[in-house]
Amino acid sequence: MVASRKPLEPLTDERYSFNFSSTAQHSVTCDWARREISISPRGEISVSERYRLNNLASSFSSVRMILPKGTMEVMAYDDAGPLWTDSKKTSDVTIAPRFKTIRENESFTFGLEYRLSATQSLKQLQWWGLYNLTLKLIADPPWVIEKAEVRIVLPRGVSVESNSIVPASRTDSSAYETVLSYFFEPATPLHDLTLNLRYRYLPFWSGLIPLMWILLIQVIVTAVVAVSKLRKPARAVAVAPIDRIMEFVELHDEKTALSLELDKMGQDMARGAISRHEYRRRSREIDRRIEEIRKELQLIKTALSAASARYDEMIRRIERAEAEIDAAKASMAQLRTQYRTGKIARHVYDGMVSDLTKRQDRARETINSIIITLREEAR
């Protein structure tokens, strides 16, 4: 259908609407985008950015992004972690959702992390620390971004001399860090967001002020410690509650053994070594005993925490490690379900299970180290 209207009167303000549909094209909006550009003292430029897209038309299974020239080590992420097994060395990347296509009225949030070649974006104008940074605050977005936020993190000790785009805000954390923040509502491919930033940076002088602060803090701490030793009498060393420690260690060992037995029973049932009925009967007994141990341990934990701040910290570390193990087990169960239903590939499943297993091993090492320390103190 073709329609026209003429002539157009000057200063005419009218609104037109029409329905658009196509199987080959997609209508995508971007709710928000966040980008952080960090410049290291050696001139390395790293970029981290996130986008939230909404699909208003037909389904699509990937998003194409054209990154700046000189892009290196590109990695894509979503809320569950990396989307690729290895980083890519290209400025033309395609990002696909982890489990499915993006259908009509669905959203997709993803992030990119990469490095930019300093030779193309950063020029040293004088050997005595004068630099010029030229780059785009938003890297040619293929959509209209409703709200865009850009942060530029400069090295400590930077002195900005000129800026082609005035930032919305600037944060100077003493002599340690300078952050320039920009906000755009909206940001479109038609906007010229090329930034020319000239700044002066002297690594030697910028390092002197932090060194002076460190020396000053050391002097103050030394003086406070010396005065406290002169004025305060020596505190009596608290006697370790040996009986409580032994009760804690024995109950914790029993709970650990029951948890391992429960895990082994689950594996035996999965390979058919025991029946489901027998597994349920024995697991109910083990769960009942574990709950009794938890109640007894809670009373002992309270007593040990009151006896010494050191024991309180040990107990907190054990509880954090146990929570880490439980969270890893729940994640493994979800991954197993997704793998069996075909939502994730085998190599992705194996990689994520390996990471979760390492988390569990580190948490168990923490618990074992603390239990061994307590057992030695109770002897």
The larger pLDDT score, comparing residue 175 to residue 63, is at 63
Pairing of strands 71-78, 107-116: antiparallel
Pull the structure tokens for residue 122: 């950063």
Lowest-confidence range among 13-27, 117-131, 218-232? 13-27
pTM, full prediction = 0.49
Q: Which pLDDT value is given to residue 236?
A: 47
The larger pLDDT score, comparing residue 151 to residue 221, is at 151
What class has domain 28-201? mainly beta
Pull the structure tokens for residue 259: 């948890």
Q: Average pLDDT of the chain?
A: 82
- Region for 157 from its dihedrals, namely left if φ exceeds 0, alpha if ψ lies in -120 to 50, beta otherwise: left
Band of residue 173 on the pLDDT scale cut at 50, 70, 90:
low
Q: Which pLDDT value is given to residue 237?
A: 46
Pull the structure tokens for residue 215: 């020396």
Total Cβ atoms within 10 A of residue 307:
16
- Region for 86 from its dihedrals, namely left if φ exceeds 0, alpha if ψ lies in -120 to 50, beta otherwise: beta
pLDDT mean over 365-375: 86
- The answer on pLDDT for 82 being more than 70 is yes
Cβ atoms of 200 and 129 closer than 8 Å:
yes
Tens of pLDDT, residue by residue over 259-308, are 888 888 888 888 888 888 888 888 888 888 888 988 888 888 888 888 88
Nearest to 359 by CA among 165, 170, 81, 114: 81
Return the SS3 of 149.
Answer: strand
- The answer on pLDDT for 174 being more than 50 is no
What percentage of the chain exceeds 90 in pLDDT? 13
Cβ atoms of 138 and 190 closer than 8 Å:
no
Angle of CA points 261, 264, 270, to nearest 5° = 145
Nearest to 205 by CA among 242, 156, 163, 277: 156
Q: Which pLDDT value is given to residue 220?
A: 85
The larger pLDDT score, comparing residue 4 to residue 364, is at 364
CA 88/CA 74 separation, integer angstroms: 5
Band of residue 332 on the pLDDT scale cut at 50, 70, 90:
confident
Lowest-confidence range among 69-78, 150-159, 223-232? 223-232
Pairing of strands 145-154, 28-39: parallel
b/e sequence 93-109, b meaning 16+ C-beta within 10 Å: bebbbbeeebeeeeebe
Instruction: Give the CA radius of gyration of the chain.
Output: 30
